[in-house]
Every structure is written in structure tokens, then in C-alpha cells.
Structure 1
Amino acid sequence: MKKYLILLLIVVLTFGICLVGCKNEKDNVVRVNEVTHSVFYAPLYVAINQGFFEDEGITIEMTNGGGSDKSMTAVMSGQADIGLMGPETAVYVRLGGSKNYPVVFGQLTRKDGSFLIGRSADPDFSWQDLRGKEIIGGRQGGMPAMMLEYALYANGLTEGQDVTINYDVQFDLITAAFEGGTGDYCTMFEPNATEYQAAGKGHVITSVGAAVSDVPYTCFMATQSYLREKPDTVKAFMRAVMRGIDYVTEQDDATIAAALQPSFPSTSVETLKNAVRAYKAIDAYKTSPVMSEAEFNTLLDVLMFAGSIDRRVAFTDIIDNTIAQSIADAA
């Protein structure tokens, strides 16, 4: 009888150790849902591939949302811990009255990362060339579509009067729709834009982001409950991201492209290098994850102009720079 009791105790203790080990392993996993997969987010991929997250004891699990609405759904439903998407989604949820609305705790990019793609080369392009044309712009209320509207406005064009934006095509289906004959132009992110041109299917015409002011285009966000429960994990996450930001800031295009390759196995290093160069040319990458209130106000201007919101949100309601500032100060 004593033998069985000892055996039972061993089994119970072993099971308990297993549970603790499994819990610790799970606690080290951070599930990140990215709005799309693009060289636009180079600092994050560099941090993953160079082992910066591993150095922090974190394992990253990436999923592609295929649109900010889907990425936000993943965060709000608990399918993802952290979302990488446009902060406009946090504005929408906050204005919608959710109590556990997401909070932005770090910024990654400060320009629109999309490029206007045409069916033929146009080395002397002027925004006025778009009069009477149709552009596939993605979902209405999404950042790509709203920034395109704002860029058109900044260049003297009014959507719906001078030019038509097609909002009916889902973000992750834009390339296929354009290739199928829809629209005169569309927008694409890198490396898709470079690959599309290299395949002889279209031509990169101009950067949308270069036509407008800096905005907090892509940010890291999580629910308030996750930030309360996992502050150390979030700090470790941002330390790794900061190292990725520094790497992209300091290294040459070829070195960055090589570091990105594992995240884009079907894309050549040369294409990745060209994509990095294109984003650096418009100063797309942040050198600090701290968001400025001025850029946030520009974002709200864009949302108001697009008619996506009818009132503004206070900066401190959905932006918390505490962790980002401490990481930036220590870098």
C-alpha cells in the first residue's frame, strides 16, 4: 500500500511539474497578428530573425490578419496578444464604447507604406493624371484607403468627383483584382509592388506616403487587460523591437535584406533590398517607438476628413508611451 502511495505521489508531482513547465512555456509565447506581411514592418522581422526576441526569452507566433478589421477582431477576441495595425482601429473601438478597448503602446512606421501601381510606366507622373480614373484602394475606413483619399485631396483631387476609389475589394485581394482587369490603378505594399513590376504585370508609379504628412501608420497595440497582466512581457517585447528599429536604422539595405530573407523565403534578396530602399527613401521607419501627439492629431484629421469618425479621441485615451519612452531612453 505504501508503495502505491509513493507511486501516486510521484505521478502527482510529475504532473504538477509538467503543468508548471507547460504554463511557463506558454507564458513565453507572444501571439502577434500583423495586418499584412510586408517589408514595411522590417524592424519586427529583423528582431525575430536576428534572435532579439529569443534574447528576451520570448517566442513569437505570427499570423496575418489580411486587414486591420480582422487584426483587431483577433486582438479583441483573444486570438492574438498583440496586434500590429493602424491605430485608427483603436480609435473606432474606443468610440464604439468598448470597456476593454485596445491601447497603443508602440509605433513602428510613420508614413503610408503603399505605392500607386499603374498598368503602364509613367516617368513624368502627375497626380492630375488620375482625373477620371479608377483606383482600387481597399476597404473604406481602412488606413490605405483613407490615406489615398488624403493624398488625392492634397494634390487637388476630390474622390467621387475627379477620381473614383474602388472600396469593394478586400485588402488582401487587391493585387488579384487589379491583375484581373479591375481599375486603372491600385495600391500595393512592398515587396508585392516590386515583384509585380518585375513580373511585367504593372509599374510602380509613386509613393502615397510621400504625398502626405507623417502619421502613426502602423502601431503595436493590446487590450488593457493584457497590458495589466503582462507588463514585463510587453517591456521585453518592446526591447526586442527597439533593437530591430536600431538595426534597420543603422545597417545598409543589403544587410537588412539578408536579415529579412527568412520572413520572405520566396522573395529574392535583391527584391527585398529594393523594397527596403523604397521605404527608407520616404523615411517610413520610425527611429523611436514613441508616438507624438502632433502625428496622432494628423491621424485624427485624416479620419475626420474621410468621414470615418465624427468626433476626436483624446491622445491619452488610447496611447500609452510609458513603455516605449522607457525603452527609447535606455537605448
Structure 2
Amino acid sequence: MRKMKIFGVILCFTLLFLSACGSNENTTIKLGEVTRSLFYAPQYVAIEKGFFEEEGLDVELQTLWGGDKTMTGLLSDGIDVALVGSETSIYVYAQDSNDYAVNFAQLTQTDGTFLVAKEAHSDFKWEDLKGSNFLGQRKGGMPQMVGEFVLKQHGIDPHNDLSLHQNIDFANIPGAFLSGDYEYVQLFEPTASVMEKEGNGHVIASFGEESGHVPYTVFMAKQSYLVDNKENIEKFTRAIYKAQQWVQETDSAEIAETIQSYFEDVDLDILTSSIERYKSQGSFATDPILDEEEWNNLTNIIEEAGEIPDGEISYEELVNTEIAEEVINQ
């Protein structure tokens, strides 16, 4: 009988211990990325190196394949945080949304596309594009707007000096380039390097180098979510900052090995060279702060593309730097 009492006491303490542990469970954040891209390497590093876990967060990552789907997921509470082009927050704000999306942490700070040609160019000049058959990106999306901005900087009217095609879905652009009679295309890594390795194309220029710093891909959340979950967003941003610093200090080969599971169909050497390409042109932001100069460059690019909405595009309304500043100053 005495043994049964002792067992009961032990069981009671065990249940109390498990209950106490349960109260310290990690907070779940549902994160939606606009596409699966090597361009987002620091995000995958934050997951694989356990930086989110260190902050007490369980991040559930899903790929939503498109800016419109990503923003729909965010505004309908299907996801808590979106990784998407910051131009989407401008479009939502222009629709007089009561609970609009706010950019709180920057991940990439240049365009991530490269100009790929079917034929080799030993001495490429931008004017070579005039009169060519060019496979473009989606109208109103950042790749296309940056592409047009760069072409105009080189005296090329993308809608009159080229035969510009924009009727292919993002995921099908590489295949369409290979099978069609297009001479040039804009591609992200590692697709550009894979095409080059297989002898199907040649990387001849970088739109990221040409366009300068822009808040190209940013983490954003609804205004209400930032207010109600400030502590968790701060933890999230701290984990991203740790990853950004780790990527900055780590060689491309180790980064590639760390995130290889996200790109199982891509050879490790291609991942490594692609990451090095992005690192060498400063595409990965080294901290999460989205500054006003970058924002102004973004709005200039959107305006040049004729996609600027009516009304003021307020940096103060659409960008929150307080969280990122707190994180990097701790």
C-alpha cells in the first residue's frame, strides 16, 4: 500500500513537471514565401542553423508561388508573415486596406536576376538587345520593372526597341526560353547557372549590379499582427539578423551545404557558385533595416514602369524600422 502511495506521488510530480514544460512551448509563426529561390538563402539558413528555435519560435514555411497568392494568404490570415517583393505592400495600401501590410525586415537588397542569352557574347553591350526577341517577366512584378528600368538607363525602350513577351508564367519561363525562339531572358539563380552549365544559355549581365540597392524581397506582416505580436516579430527579426550575419561571414560552399535540402535537384557546385555570385554583388542584405534611400529607389523603379498607384506612397506608413533597429542595437 505504501509503495502505491509513493508511486502516486511520483506520478503527480511527473505530471506537474510535464505540464510546466508544456507552458514553455515554442510559438508557431506561419511563414509564406513567394517562391522557392536560392536568392532567399539567409531565410533557409535561419531555419537550418536553428536560429528561430533559439528564439523560441517554430517557423512553418510554405511556398505560395506568386505575389498575389502570397498577399491573399497574408491578408486572409492563412499566414502570419510573408516573404515577398515590397512592391506588393504598395499595391495593397493603394486599395485602401484597413489592415495593410507593413515591411519590417529586409532580406535581399538588389534585383536577383541575370541576363541570359542563347548565344555566347564575347563583348556584350546593352544596345545589342535592340530588335531582339526578349522573354520578359510578369507585368508589375519586381523582375520586370527592374529589367525595364535598367534597359531605359541604357537608352532602350523595352516596349518599342524589343519584341517583348510577357505571357509566360514565372515557373515556366526557363522551359519556354529553351523551346522557343527567344534570344534573351531574365533568370534567377540557380536556374541561370544550370542553363549555362548545360550549354543552353550564357549569363552575360546582372540586373542587380545595374539597378543598385532596392528592398527587393522583404518580410512583412499585417499592421494588426505587428501590434499584437511585437515580441514574436522581434524574435523573428533577430533570427533573420543572425542568419544574415552568418551568411556574410561564411564561405559560399558551407552555405550551399547548409541549405542544399531546399534544392535537392541542383548540384552542390551550382549552388555554391550561385551563392557566390549573389554574395559578390551584395544581393543578401547584411541587416534587416529597410532604409528610406532604398525605398525611394524602389518607388522610382515602379514609377518608371508606369505601375505607381494614385496617392502618396508613405515610407512612414509602410515600413517599420523600429524592430530591426532594436535587434541590431542589442
TM-score normalized by the length of structure 2: 0.89
Q: Report if the CA contact (8 A) 1:134-1:185 is conserved.
A: yes
Two-structure CA RMSD over aligned residues (Å) = 2.0
User: Where do 1:164-313 residues align within 5 Å?
Assistant: 164-181=163-180, 183-309=182-308, 310-313=310-313
Q: Which amino acid aligns with 2:220?
A: M
Residue in 1 that maps onto 2:147: 148
- Aligned-partner Cα distance in 2 for 1:86–1:115: 17
- Aligned-partner Cα distance in 1 for 2:326–2:164: 41
User: Where do 1:55-204 residues align within 5 Å?
Assistant: 55-181=54-180, 183-204=182-203
SS at match of 1:307: coil
Runs of 4 or more off by more than 6 Å in structure 1? none
Q: Which amino acid aligns with 2:328?
A: A
- Aligned-partner Cα distance in 1 for 2:286–2:120: 33
- Aligned-partner Cα distance in 1 for 2:196–2:69: 28
SS at match of 1:66: coil
Deviation at 1:185, TM superposition (A): 1.4
| 1:319 lines up with 2:330 in the alignment | no
Deviation at 1:182, TM superposition (A): 5.2
SS at match of 2:329: helix
SS at match of 1:261: helix
Residue in 2 that maps onto 1:8: none
- Aligned-partner Cα distance in 1 for 2:103–2:181: 35
Q: Which amino acid aligns with 1:318?
A: L
Deviation at 1:54, TM superposition (A): 1.4
SS at match of 1:158: coil
Q: Which amino acid aligns with 1:33?
A: G
Aligned residues: 312
Cα gap change, 1:238/1:182 in structure 2, threshold over 3 Å: closer, same or farther?
farther
Can you give the 5+ residue segments of structure 1 that lack an aligned partner in the other structure? 1-13
- Aligned-partner Cα distance in 2 for 1:271–1:228: 41
Deviation at 1:199, TM superposition (A): 2.1
- Aligned-partner Cα distance in 2 for 1:164–1:281: 32
Deviation at 1:201, TM superposition (A): 2.1
Deviation at 1:24, TM superposition (A): 7.8
Cα gap change, 1:312/1:167 in structure 2, threshold over 3 Å: closer, same or farther?
farther
Deviation at 1:239, TM superposition (A): 0.9
- Aligned-partner Cα distance in 2 for 1:123–1:84: 37
Q: Which amino acid aligns with 1:159?
A: P
User: Where do 1:8-19 residues align within 5 Å?
Assistant: none
Q: Which amino acid aligns with 2:32?
A: N
Deviations, residues 204-243 of structure 1 (Å, cap 9, x unaligned): 2211111112111110001112112221211111111011
Cα gap change, 1:131/1:209 in structure 2, threshold over 3 Å: closer, same or farther?
same
Can you give the 5+ residue segments of structure 2 that lack an aligned partner in the other structure? 1-14
- Aligned-partner Cα distance in 2 for 1:161–1:24: 61
Q: Which amino acid aligns with 1:246?
A: Q
Identity of aligned residues (%): 38
Q: Report if the CA contact (8 A) 1:67-1:172 is conserved.
A: no
- Aligned-partner Cα distance in 2 for 1:104–1:36: 18
Q: Which amino acid aligns with 2:219?
A: F
TM-score normalized by the length of structure 1: 0.89
